[in-house]
Structure 1
Amino acid sequence: MHRKKKILIATAATLVIGTGTAFAFWSTTGTGAGSATTSAGASNLAIAQTSTITNMFPGDTAQTIAGTVTNNASNSAYVNTVTVSIASVTKADGVTGTCDATDYTLATPVMTIAKDLAAGATETFTGATIKFNNKATSQDACKGATVNLAYASN
């Protein structure tokens, strides 16, 4: 019986010692600060018109505007829309009279892309149209004129 008692005591001691863990520590406090920055965003988008629009005349049918947006930044950029507008009209050399943006109509100038463009990626857009209006007055001043289009994205 002595032997069983010794084994039982040794086993109990091992269990107590084996499951007990001692901790030693110093209590302390601390503070800190840090910072992180984000990029300024993809401000390097290139928009190019790919459609060729020529030979407009009074009462002509609308011609489609199409193009591409290229992300030249090193990070991705979300492009929601591309908007086209008439920036100006340049009359042909030697032409007199008035020719301006009111001689033309842009339809559906806001074209939706709604895509995240990876760095270096290109996406196409289309949907806007331009046509030469047929006014009740002479539009001879618009012969040979160039309509300068402007593009903006957001």
Structure 2
Amino acid sequence: MRNKKKIAAIAVAAALVLGTGTAAFAYWSTTGTGTGSATTGTSGTVTIAQTSTHANLAPGAAAQTISGTVSNPAAASSSVYVAKVTVSISSVTLADGTTGTSATCDSSNYTLTNAAMSVGSDIAKGASATFTGATIGFNNKETNQDACKGAKVNFSYAAS
């Protein structure tokens, strides 16, 4: 009887090994192709607003700090990274409403320092960040600068 049990056990083990081996190698082979795509968002336009006010620029007066905010509109598709805001003098409007020239009063009568102001922020849509650090002062020349009395210095801002 023992031999029959051994033979039966060996037969069952062999059947399991063969069955498992066959199952492990049974598969369907096929081929195929596919396509896919992804799109990236676009960067939107930020809004830059000056928050500081500057008055009484004059010979010998201290330079005044320029500051403001950079806003990412709520309608933007994603956040935007703004490294810095750079300010420049775009024009000078004289007290009579005309644009100044080198013969009267122009940007050379003013000193703009530290024009590139650090922001270094990832601005979420609908949020804003601040900037500050540039200064505007009056350039005291050796010539008559009376044409600059009451003049308005106009700035341009660029974010990058």
State the TM-score, normalized to the length of structure 1: 0.88
Q: What CA distance in whole angstroms lies between the structure 2 residues aligned with 1:81 and 1:149?
A: 16
- Give the C-alpha shift of residue 118 in structure 1: 1.3
Q: Alpha carbons of 1:18 and 1:26: their partners in 2 closer, same or farther (altered >3 Å)?
A: closer
Task: State the 1:117 CA deviation.
Answer: 1.2
> RMSD across aligned C-alpha pairs, in angstroms?
2.1
- Give 1:104's aligned amino acid: Y
- Residue 2 of structure 1 corresponds to 4
Q: Deviations over 1:37-78 (max 9, x none)?
A: 222212x20101111111111121110001110111231111
Equivalent position of 1:68 in the other structure: 69
Residue identity over aligned pairs, in percent, reads 52
User: 1 CA distance for matches of 2:20 and 2:35?
Assistant: 42
SS at match of 2:11: helix
CA distance in 1, matches of 2:145, 2:126: 44
Is this contact kept in 1: 2:88–2:157, CA < 8 A?
A: yes
Question: What is the number of residues matched between the two proteins?
Answer: 152
**What aligned pairs does 1:12-27 form with structure 2 within 5 A after superposition?**
12-21=14-23, 22-27=25-30
What is the identity, as a one-letter code, of the residue corresponding to 2:43? Answer: G
Equivalent-residue separation in structure 1 for 2:27 and 2:35 (angstroms): 28
The 2-side partners of 1:80 and 1:135 are apart by: 35
Letter in 1 for 2:48: I
**Shift in alpha-carbon separation, 1:134–1:34, aligned structure 2, 3 A:** same
Quick check: 1:74–1:120 contact (8 Å CA) kept in 2? no
Aligned to 1:91: 94
Q: Residues of 1 paired with 2:97 and 2:37: CA distance? A: 62
Could you tell me which runs of 5 or more consecutive residues in structure 1 were left unpaired when the two chains were aligned.
Answer: none
CA distance in 2, matches of 1:36, 1:94: 53
| 1:140 maps to 2:141 | no
Query: Retained in 1: the 8 A contact 2:41–2:77?
Result: no
**Aligned-partner Cα distance in 2 for 1:87–1:134:** 20
CA shift, 1:137, in A, is 1.2
Confirm or deny: 8 A CA contact 2:42 2:77 kept in the other structure.
no
